Amino acid sequence: MLMYILKRLALMVPTLIGVVTLTFVVTQFVPGGPVEQIMTQLRHGARPGGEGGAGGGGYHGSQGVDPQQMEQIKKQFGFDKPPLTRYFAMLEDYATFDLGQSYYHHQSVWGVIRSKLPVSITLGLWTVILTYLVSVPLGIAKAVRNGSRFDTVTSVAVLAGYAIPGFVFGVLLLMLFGGGTLWQVFPMRGLTSDDFDDLSAIGKVLDYLWHIVLPVTAAVVGNFAVVTILTKNTFLEEIGRQYVLTAKAKGVPQRDVLFRHVLRNAAIPLLTGLPAAFVGAFLNGNLLIETLFSLDGMGQLSYDSVIRRDYPVVLGSLFLFTLIGLLTKLIADVCYVLVDPRIQFNRTGR
């Protein structure tokens, strides 16, 4: 196992370099870069680097901009150097986990990402917790009652939730409970109230939970189907195996058969997929839900960075999330062995 882990860690290096290299090359050919957008703002009298950094009005070349000023702008963003020089300097910085400085946020990429993570972690953490708390018991119940009316009704319910986009369900929740049409039960935006700092400890917890009800509900409903059906099918497959039939023939109670024998084997794909599900839930971000509920998280940051051509944030966040994704996949593989010691990677040729 140790050799397998070391081999996987070594393979992460070329994978990271490949992802960053491909993205860097693509950014060199994307029109309307940060230099062009700043020059557009100068021609239109906008403040460079402000919130209007998306470059409204389009790029029309460098006409009307002092050449000396244009060179200063290029130097400010580092575009006065050849692409290869900038590329190798970037790799050198990434080797020490220095992700650079954002063009528009006037702080390090690490600082920008850290400021957005609380929102994404909130949505991701609660989404994964609620998904597993609801879907695993529901999937077990569906497997035990396979083919019954309960199985049919719950299948229709979770598949309906899967079919409805999260942002559409979010709009419906706002109309019903956010004061849009009927009841003003929950707040429409933000993770906390304006007077959050003045509240007591219990008041802060209640205020936080009060604010996350609608966005978390909108984000989690579509996730029930996958885990529920996976749990059901896994349990059905294990229930039909010979060792289960033998245990039943010996008179072992059904509850003991399910939770002492079936659960250990059926839980393997669920437990090993948990790290990836958690990381994916809060790193991917949900732009539409964040926008709908006025939450400033990773989804909004990713969108704004691409639109503004904030290349350090685009490249730095991609590097960081790729690294986390690779480590998560490695953790999932290790979980296979921890859950089922019969699995040996060196024997399977992995």
Contact 159, 225 (CB under 8 A): yes
Question: Under the phi-then-psi rule, with left for phi > 0, alpha for psi from -120 to 50, and beta for the rest, what region is 330?
Answer: alpha
CB 264 within 8 A of CB 309: no
- Is the pLDDT at 248 greater than 90? The verdict is no
Q: Which amino acid is at 291?
A: T
Contacts of 184 (CB under 8 A, 6+ apart): 177, 178
pTM recorded for the entire structure: 0.74
Give the pLDDT score at 345.
64
Query: Band of the pLDDT at 57, cuts 50, 70, 90?
Result: very low
d(CA 148, CA 291): 41
At residue 193, the pLDDT reads 81
Mean pLDDT of 247-260: 80
Domains and CATH numbers, the chain: 12-21+29-76+87-109 (no CATH), 116-348 (1.10.3720.10)
pLDDT by residue (tens digit) across 293-336? Answer: 888 888 888 888 888 888 889 898 888 888 888 888 888 777 77
Burial of 306 (0-12, 13-18, 19+ CB in 10 A): middle
Tokens of 93: 């910085």
Handedness of CA 229, 235, 240, 241 (dihedral sign): positive
pLDDT number for residue 54:
43
* Mean pLDDT to the nearest integer, 244-269: 79
Backbone torsions φ then ψ of 178, nearest 5 degrees: -105, 10
Among residues 269, 279, 323, which one has the least CA distance to residue 125?
A: 279
pLDDT digits (tens, 9 = 90+) for 189-240: 778 887 888 888 898 888 888 888 888 898 888 888 888 998 898 888 888 7
Lowest mean pLDDT among 43-47, 72-76, 241-245, 288-292: 43-47
Band of pLDDT at residue 154, cut at 50, 70 and 90: very high
Q: Side-chain half-sphere of 176: how many Cα atoms within 13 Å?
A: 8
Query: Looking at residues 51-67, what average pLDDT do you find?
Result: 49
